[in-house]
A and B are shown apart, each in its own frame.
Chain A
């Protein structure tokens, strides 16, 4: 990789949608940095704006319904040049998509074209970006299927998506995404629709491929178990903003935003001692519901649900406080939560 510095640097990204009831701001000034070869997990519940952030990086939000209205998405390409994807012309974006930046989607059952063979759908990427011949692209597709550990790849290349299981299809999606050795892989809840055992296999596969190919990953999920498994850094998103960002161990050790605390507390834990004593702890949930993007609360987005709320929380959106040089939290009371 030529040059040094982050692979992807999202600065103050703002994305809006036009709806019948007016403009909805789904992403309200997001900053994310992905270093080459590292994994950033973007965590949040549905509606927090994490998928919109990823689609903004790909510039895949249909113009008719919305788009990026502010900020920068700086991407360091293979040539070492840093470009702002927000202002990149569409043909240049097309040359990046599937090539230097790839994406794996949540729904493996519906994300593959039902009328095309597996091999053809992978070969398509190589033909598009590498101008390979039909035969070479097909060979490449079989190599990619081997890479993602699909048994009997030559035969599997020749079948259709409906003849495969969900886990196998997600492997195909990954093979498709990696067909051109991308520098950045955006994975939008790639394991959410899968069985737990298959989830683990896919995560292991992604980790292995990251070591081999050296790509940076922006991993979008709502599952903290998955985060612990795969991330180097975590960014927690709520109501269209990053509310906390930290290296993964630090986030789990010292959550400094009430929302992050709530997420960690709501994880089920198996307490053998308590179970033996006949006491089963109840799952803790965060009270209230997600921000209505049409009618966000004044001040901190989380204040209606927060246990630590003070009047100042309702006045203005809190700035990011440095918990440590690598750890930031958007909470006025970040250092009081332990009490």
Chain B
């Protein structure tokens, strides 16, 4: 793997991130309302006090000036302060990162463990009843709204059966592994459902493609069993096209499963994003979205590197 290539890709990301930050900033500014609107209806906050707060956060400046203030602070590593809570943006994000990584990591693990075998089996037995069943479930998974599935699960497991807590991160005063597991189970299941559906489709189509290749026939002619052919010859080739989608989906989930986290009151990045959105917390939103952008860019670089390591025909120089 060429180090020069990685460095070049990272340098190329800089103008990209600058462009993204301009667009994000503009979009946030275009959204109706502002961070101080939550005080506007409050009779105990005088117009003078409001103006003072606005001046303190630089909100009285025209948007381009605000952008350059944000940018110059960002370049020195200062992510700014949340207007809603007054705490540093970076500290707030780091605090929320833990629960999101737990939830996202678990969901990814479940998705990989289920989607890969499902995709392989339905490709190897294409046209079978199992394949049709997987197809139907996949489309159901892709088209089911996350919040609806989440509510159904809550109704069943929390309200009807009373097996699992409906929302939250852990019980007050508990926090043992088992207790946390009970809380994470439903959000992780909801989050996995859609990814399992889309990944298994991807892996299936990659696998079908590969299983029709001449070298698969060669592998059978060598005396390999079907299982051997799949494991030693088909899988690696079939994973190549699936790598990008998996890498990017991974970042999407890590950078905040907004709906899932909100419905299950999970104290992660996604919920922080929702809260900041509602409060028009400009610095926090910029911080969160820039972090997400960096994540996506890195995921793409990693996916390209993974390509090259899976497929010897691809070399970057």
Chain A residues with a Cβ under 8 A of chain B: 58, 60, 64, 94-99, 102-103, 105, 107, 110-116, 124-125, 128-129, 160, 162, 173, 176
- CB contacts under 8 Å to A, within B235-256, are 236-237
Counting chain A CB atoms within 10 Å of each CB, the highest count among B213, B218, B313 belongs to: B218
Tell me if B310 is interfacial: C-beta within 8 Å of chain A: yes
Closest Cβ–Cβ distance, residue A17 to chain B (whole Å): 15
Docked-complex contact B237 and A162, CB < 8 angstroms: no
Docked-complex contact B223 and A115, CB < 8 angstroms: no
Docked Cα-Cα span, A132 to B224, in Å, equals 16
Nearest CB to that of A186 among chain B residues? B221
Tell me if B215 is interfacial: C-beta within 8 Å of chain A: yes
Select A115's contact among B218, B228, B310, beta carbons within 8 Å. B310
Contacts of A96 in B (CB 8 A): 223
Counting chain B CB atoms within 10 Å of each CB, the highest count among A60, A111, A176 belongs to: A111
Closest Cβ–Cβ distance, residue A48 to chain B (whole Å): 20
Closest Cβ–Cβ distance, residue A82 to chain B (whole Å): 20
Offer 28 A-B interface pairs, CB within 8 angstroms, sorted by A: A58-B221, A60-B217, A60-B221, A94-B224, A95-B223, A96-B223, A97-B220, A97-B222, A98-B221, A98-B222, A99-B223, A107-B214, A110-B214, A110-B215, A111-B218, A112-B215, A113-B233, A113-B237, A114-B215, A115-B236, A115-B310, A115-B312, A124-B232, A128-B222, A128-B224, A160-B313, A162-B312, A173-B218
Docked Cα-Cα span, A255 to B23, in Å, equals 79
Docked-complex contact A124 and B222, CB < 8 angstroms: yes
Docked Cα-Cα span, A124 to B313, in Å, equals 21
Docked Cα-Cα span, A176 to B237, in Å, equals 20
Docked Cα-Cα span, A102 to B310, in Å, equals 29
Nearest CB to that of A163 among chain B residues? B312
Identify 5 new A-B residue pairs, CB closer than 8 A, beyond the known A113-B237, A114-B313: A94-B223, A114-B237, A116-B233, A125-B223, A128-B222
- B301-317 interface bits toward A, Cβ cutoff 8 Å, 1 = contact, 0 = none: 00000000011110000
Docked Cα-Cα span, A216 to B228, in Å, equals 28
4 closest Cβ pairs, A-B complex: A98-B222, A98-B223, A97-B223, A110-B214
Nearest CB to that of A113 among chain B residues? B215
Docked-complex contact B218 and A128, CB < 8 angstroms: no
Nearest CB to that of B239 among chain A residues? A115
Nearest CB to that of B216 among chain A residues? A113
Docked Cα-Cα span, A76 to B66, in Å, equals 86
Select A162's contact among B221, B224, B313, beta carbons within 8 Å. B313
Closest Cβ–Cβ distance, residue B315 to chain A (whole Å): 10
Docked Cα-Cα span, A98 to B218, in Å, equals 9
Closest Cβ–Cβ distance, residue B254 to chain A (whole Å): 29
